[in-house]
Each structure stands twice: as C-alpha cells, then as structure tokens.
Amino acid sequence: MSLDDLQDDLEGEYADLGDEVSVSLDRETRNELAMLNAAFDPEDADELLRRAVHMLFQTAVDTGNLDFHLRSGYDVTYDEYLSGMTYDEMTGGGQAFPQQQQKDDRRYQF
C-alpha cells in the first residue's frame, strides 16, 4: 500500500459517510452520553459526538496510534499524508546518487 492508496481509500470512506451517520448505542455508551449531555448541556447530542470524534482523532495523532496503523496498512505516516510525499521522497533517499557515465581509467593513475 502507498500514499496514493491511502488517498483513494480516504476519499472512498468520506463519500460513504455522507453528511449523517446513524450510530446504535449500547447501554454503557448511552449512559455516558447522557452524563455528558447533562454536564455540558449542548444544543443536541450530535455536538458531543462530533467533539468525541475530534478528541479521539487528536489523541490518536498525539500518541502515535494513528501513525502506527497508517504505517501498518499503508506504509506512510500522517505527516507524510499531510505533505503529500513520503520521507524518502522528501529527502531524496529513494534515488541513487548520480554516477559518472564515462569510464575514467586515469582516475587512479599517479
């Protein structure tokens, strides 16, 4: 997998999600969401769910968990995704050093 594969999969996932996502809640999640609703008093529960996704994403980035999964599945990191190129491409690490084309037999003559 590569950076291009990640971009293609991300675009596909984005299109599949659409504007709204239906989520079924288990008893524990419903209880926790009710507590957060009572404590933060948002306009609707959707706002808390949006915040939860932002928080999970930020935590995954900060802890390196996102990079671990991206590296495992796509062989790239989040920083590489953001820049649009891999570290090897940034540093020229994947390129061989240019070699002189003509053979110079005089090079080691004294």
Q: Please tell me the pTM assigned to this model.
A: 0.73
Q: pLDDT tens digits, residue range 8-63? A: 999 999 999 888 888 899 999 999 999 999 999 999 889 999 999 999 999 999 99
Q: Is residue 17 part of a domain?
A: no
Q: Contact 6/81 with Cβ under 8 angstroms? A: yes
Q: Is residue 85 part of a domain?
A: yes
Query: In the chain, how many domains are there?
Result: 1
Distance CA 85, CA 93 (A): 12
Q: Is residue 33 part of a domain?
A: no
Q: pLDDT tens digits, residue range 55-69? A: 999 999 999 999 999
52: containing domain: 43-89
Q: Is residue 5 part of a domain?
A: no
CA 12-15-16 angle, to 5 degrees, is 85
User: CA distances (Å), 80 to each of 16, 62, 75, in order?
Assistant: 24, 15, 10
